[in-house]
Structure 1
Amino acid sequence: METVAFKNKDLDVVADLYLPAGFDETQKYAAIVSAHPIGSCKEQTSGNIYGAKLAEAGYVVLAFDATHQGASGGEPRWIEDPGLRVEDFRCAVDYLVTLDYVNEDRIGVLGICGGGGYAVNAAMTDRRFKAIGTVTGVNYGRMMREGDLSGDVAIKTLDAVAKQRTSEARGSAPRVDDALPDSPEKANELGITALDVLEATKYYRTRRGQQPNGMTKSLFSHMGPAIGWDAYHLAEQLLTQPLQIVVGGIPGEFGAYRDGFDLLNRARSQKKDIVVVPDTSHYDLYWKPEATAQALGALIPFYGEYL
């Protein structure tokens, strides 16, 4: 594995490039762009789990940090803007096609959690992606619009975002939100019972998955674009590449299970499939060997057939 950088306009995108065993730069390889979850980084599941294993299977894998996040450039920090995130994917392909050992006609994409929604959206308008895989993929816009069904949460949130953005434009300190408690103990103290939040805390706040750049933070004043976005908009028309979806059989609050079936139903792709890993939660698919092995057991043959 080596760390590389490429450009998204004037910003540096930093990525880990995983190379197959016995790599020979005179040969041509299929390549896969691997995208991290919301609030995550390339050193977590997209790189150290899926990137490494796909490289072992013979692929060149590019696991990148989103712009404004991780080791990549962009100020202010912790922006989760779907337009920026999707452009990162296109720039990742721009980089791969400059490598003599990458076969430009054999490039695929993999996204985990929110990275799955971004991967799908990017592939709709970048035909250089020939095969699409998602693992516990989440439609981030849909998730952001949900909440207390007794009120219009999206509109209330957008009103608050507007006020905060005006305040910051006038010089006030940015509001940076952290999606998770500081520790599993703190989550228990707060009485949190939501499965996905508890498991996210155990992943991001312990040695299980903790990384310096896996911050789970977001800049509140820049949340507006995500609230008005749908990862799968126009999938019925534009998403035609082969598609492999993997979800866990234990549904959680983040909605990956239903988003997986929504994507399956909406995609125009003639070759599309969903694998439900039984007795497995959203975060099990980030790190648990038995869960990730089943996900890779679907993904590796899929990429083998279509790349």
Structure 2
Amino acid sequence: MSIEVKSVNIPNIAWETAADIHFPPNFDKSKKYPAVVSAHPIGSCKEQTSGNIYGKAMAEAGFVVVAFDASFQGASGGKPRFIENPEFRVSDFRFVVDYIQTLPYVDPERIGVLGICGGGGYAFNAAMTDYRFKCCVGITPVNFGRLSREAFGNFDPAGSLEKMANQRTLEAQGAKHFVIDYLPPSVTEAKKTTTDIDVIEATEYYKTARGQATHGATSGLFSFNSAALAWDAFNHAEVLMTRPFIAVVGDQPGGFGAYRDAQEIHGRAGSKDKRIVVLPGISHYMLYDKPEAVKPALDEVLPFLKKHLGEA
């Protein structure tokens, strides 16, 4: 099924957010449609799973879908590049909603949010802090703050902060930015260094033709990662997470911790309508694009969205 996609630039704090609007089949601009904001994983971009898989599927189901690039990443503005700051990442959602709720064909009272991996953690936090979102979907969601304190920080968050502080001082004095790659350069190298299913499958997705995209950098500016160490996607979820949500994970847990994080938000959230779906035999990165994982996920997600956002 052919889906019309329109690229737009959305005003942000002092730059623009690059986004693709995916339109439903037989789109009629005189109608009012429910809309979903779709957020990409850490180190990813809108042309990958948030747009070409979930964005496309939600549009085919009748939603106007806006897949966007995070600030400092992809085709969006902001300097320096490759910043992964949770506060900016969540703020991006609000600017996207500012924009789409003015569109004549979007019903501002029927806007939901979906995120994959780290984008799923951000989506939960956005739904907790911007009640213009009426419901939330987390596809194998990861709390980037928790991940930064643990696996990404070698379980030494204070030591990581010391290194980041020293590096940022050097860069402020003229040193070259230190950009880290979150993944090994190839699947062969990944298998040499780890047996972790998430690292190996992430490398297979991002570093091969399967998932490679121009802006899918899988990179981060090390000295600017300090904000993540003190951030928690689920902070105050017991009180603030009132929106209906569904979290979809596989039962094959890996080092990035999506299975654990999905269980945590499901257990902590104050939402009266909340579900966790655990798919047997499925791993984190299968939910990015593998039909045997994506289809059962969508079989749960699309009826959930139609229930809470309605149809055109």
Range of TM-score over shorter length: over 0.9
Cα-to-partner distance string for 1:27-75 (whole Å, 9 max, x where unaligned): 0000000000000000000000000000000000000000100000011
Shift in Å, 1:2: 1.1
Q: 1:140 aligns with which of 140, 144, 169?
A: 144
TM-score (norm 2): 0.96
Cα-to-partner distance string for 1:238-271 (whole Å, 9 max, x where unaligned): 1101011101111111000010010001110000
In structure 2, the CA distance between the partners of 1:152 and 1:116, relative to structure 1 (3 Å rule), is closer
Paired with 2:245 and 2:174, the residues of 1 have a C-alpha distance of 46
The letter for the 2-side match of 1:275 is: V
Whether 1:100 aligns to 2:110 is no
Q: 2:132 aligns with which of 118, 128, 132?
A: 128
Long gaps (5+) in structure 2? none
Shift in Å, 1:219: 0.2
Secondary structure of 1:280's counterpart equals: strand
Q: 1:258 aligns with which of 260, 270, 274?
A: 260
Q: Which residue of 2 aligns with 1:184?
A: 187
The letter for the 2-side match of 1:209 is: G
Q: CA RMSD in A?
A: 1.2
In structure 2, the CA distance between the partners of 1:234 and 1:14, relative to structure 1 (3 Å rule), is same
The letter for the 1-side match of 2:161 is: L
Secondary structure of 2:36's counterpart equals: strand
Whether 1:57 aligns to 2:68 is no
In structure 2, the CA distance between the partners of 1:274 and 1:152, relative to structure 1 (3 Å rule), is closer
Counterparts of residues 55-94 of structure 1 (less than 5 Å): 55-94=59-98
Shift in Å, 1:125: 1.4
The letter for the 2-side match of 1:49 is: I
Paired with 2:50 and 2:29, the residues of 1 have a C-alpha distance of 24
The letter for the 2-side match of 1:71 is: A
Whether 1:167 aligns to 2:195 is no
Paired with 1:273 and 1:53, the residues of 2 have a C-alpha distance of 21
Q: Which residue of 1 aligns with 2:270?
A: 268
State the identity as a percent: 54
The letter for the 2-side match of 1:158 is: L
Contact 2:151 2:255 in 1 (8 A): no
Long gaps (5+) in structure 1? none
Whether 1:32 aligns to 2:36 is yes
Matched residues, number: 305
Runs of 4+ in structure 1 over 4 Å off: none
Secondary structure of 2:270's counterpart equals: coil
Q: Which residue of 2 aligns with 1:46?
A: 50
